[in-house]
Amino acid sequence: MANKRLPMRKIKEVLRLKYESRLSNRVIGRSLGISRPTVAEYLIRAQAAGLSWPLPENITETDLEARIFPAAEVPASAQRPPPDCEHIYNELRAHKDVSLTRHLLWVEYREAHPDGYEYSQYCELYRRWLGQRDYCMRQEHKVGEKFFVDYRKGPSIVNSNTGEMVETHLFVGVWGASNFTYAEASLTQTLPHWTGSHVRAFEYCGCAPRVLVPDCLKSGVTKASLFESEINRSYAELASHYGSVIVPARPKHPRDKAKVEGGVLIAVRWILAVLRHRTFFSLAELNTEIAKLLEKLNTRPLRKLKKSRREVFESLDRPNALNLPASRYEYAEWDKVTVGSDYRVTVSEHTYSVPFRLLRQSVDVRLTATTVEAFHKGERVAAHSRSYVSHGDTYVQEHLPPAHQKYVGWTRSRVLQWGAEIGPSTALLVEAIMDSRPHRELGLSSCFGILKLAKKFGRERLEAASRRALKFNAISYRSMNAILVGGLDRLPDVALGSSPSQTLLPFHKNIRGKQYYH
């Protein structure tokens, strides 16, 4: 059993990769950064809950969690007879000529043990046993399956304004079966350039791989581990958009990335070596030359096959790879933020509203060039057009509490006009309140409170109280209410800077006054 529950989005990804992509538990575990037994456990739980893929459209993450982790666990059944893994191994090796399969051996096992394991668990137990054997397996690349990606130091370009040499990074991608290669230069290895190079590589090839094999670069792999690497969420979203799965190369296991290492070496010989004496003044100019040399590399006949990489790619990898989706992947960044007391989240110095019921809760924010989306427990709760106005505010009326929605129709000019109808001091007080609050709704709330004071105490007293509040910088509803309740608005005006002999103290909300002791 897993010691810690996975997020529901990872459990859904386990189901998608198992039933849609038909990947093994080992590959799923490496892709999602979890152990193989954990994958098996969640598949068993999903099967027990009657879940497969695709999930019902109306199921929420809360419903999914309740079904996978029911309150009352079913007691474990009696111990089943385990499969004879040594027998399976020897039978498969001895009868390769008749294409003996594990499924046939499982059928024979169930005939001998009707209460034995189902086929998926039978295979899982055999894989565990096989993984304990000390052997090295030669990599066999299935057609259309793997695309290996990595970076290498690229040629420098000259800044035409300063003459400074600017380093570039060469992105290289190689298909497993055909060695078809893609390369381009970028200024950094950051996530936007990393994902952008992937998108252009897929468009150059006209298809997408079933498996992406990156090195443990921080842009793609947040946490590198021998068994449980953590994939960057934006990179995982790119793979999901194209229907691919990410299986990063294991640290200190060079055989996992031997294909791309060879591709990088070829790119160095046929691209970088040719450009070593050239001077470039822009990234576009450099990539134009790389594209020309890349085409020569992919169309050059290979000595042994007598075919070019492109010909092999068109006959092997491309027909068996994934078709490109109708829409191009749009780069998005993810962040986890806490909803503030004003039911807003701040993203890139701009605030956006979310439903007020999520006050003080954590939400996942997805940020693209055009949109800002907020998710809570996998459910999208808010979506806005992205604004690039610093310190601005974007909100939806439905996100506001009912008590605040009545202020939506009020504008700043309308509030100032209402204050001017009371008197000049009230107008200045209202303007000061609106300027001092971080959001318009908060200022409107204070102003509406003062409006009710006018109905209770009259306009003349409110004007006098506003004049006194401005004098002592007590610009709040609580201060105004205290002045009117205490009758301080009826006292004669005293200039701020009067002589020390004055007997009246300046008003302050923390000073009780003589009336308190009567």
Label residue 242 left, alpha or beta by phi (over 0 means left) and psi (-120 to 50 means alpha).
alpha
Q: List, for residues 220-269, the tens digit of each pLDDT value.
A: 454 433 334 478 888 989 999 999 999 887 655 555 556 557 767 787 78
Residue pair 426/458 in contact (Cβ under 8 Å)? The answer is no
Residue 7 CA to residue 272 CA, distance in Å, equals: 44
Residue 372 CA to residue 380 CA, distance in Å, equals: 11
Residue 2 CA to residue 156 CA, distance in Å, equals: 49
Paired tokens of 92: 């498969």
Read off φ and ψ for residue 476, nearest 5 degrees.
Answer: -160, 160
pLDDT of residue 442: 67
Coil, strand or helix at 212: strand
Give the number of other Cβ atoms within 10 Å of residue 94's Cβ: 10
Residue 151 CA to residue 449 CA, distance in Å, equals: 62
Coil, strand or helix at 101: coil
pLDDT of residue 308: 92
pLDDT of residue 371: 87
pLDDT of residue 513: 55
The candidate with the shortest Cα–Cα distance to 214, out of 192, 188, 245, 241, is 245
pLDDT of residue 286: 94
Please give the order of strands across the beta sheet that includes 379-385: 333-338, 362-367, 371-376, 379-385
Q: Which residues touch 231 (CB under 8 Å, ≥6 apart)?
A: 31, 32, 33, 220, 221, 222, 246, 248
Spell out the domains of the chain, with CATH numbers in brackets: 8-71+79-131 (no CATH), 146-320 (3.30.420.10), 333-405 (no CATH), 412-517 (no CATH)
C-alpha to C-alpha distances, 160 to 166, 230, 279, 286, nearest whole angstrom: 11, 40, 11, 14
End-to-end CA distance of the chain: 71
Q: pLDDT truncated to tens, each residue of the chain (518 aa)?
A: 454 677 778 888 888 888 888 888 888 888 888 888 888 888 888 888 888 888 887 888 788 888 888 765 444 445 788 999 888 877 876 676 566 788 889 989 988 888 889 999 999 898 888 877 544 444 456 788 899 998 888 889 998 888 899 999 999 999 988 889 999 999 998 888 999 999 999 999 999 999 998 876 655 454 433 334 478 888 989 999 999 999 887 655 555 556 557 767 787 788 888 888 899 999 999 999 999 999 999 999 988 778 899 998 998 889 999 999 999 998 888 888 998 877 888 888 888 889 988 888 999 999 888 889 999 988 899 999 888 888 888 878 777 777 666 665 566 777 788 888 888 888 888 888 888 876 666 677 778 778 778 888 888 898 898 988 888 888 888 888 888 988 888 887 654 444 444 445 555 556 655 554 54
DSSP string, 29-68: HHHHT--HHHHHHHHHHHHHTT--SSPPTT--HHHHHHHH
Residue pair 422/462 in contact (Cβ under 8 Å)? The answer is yes
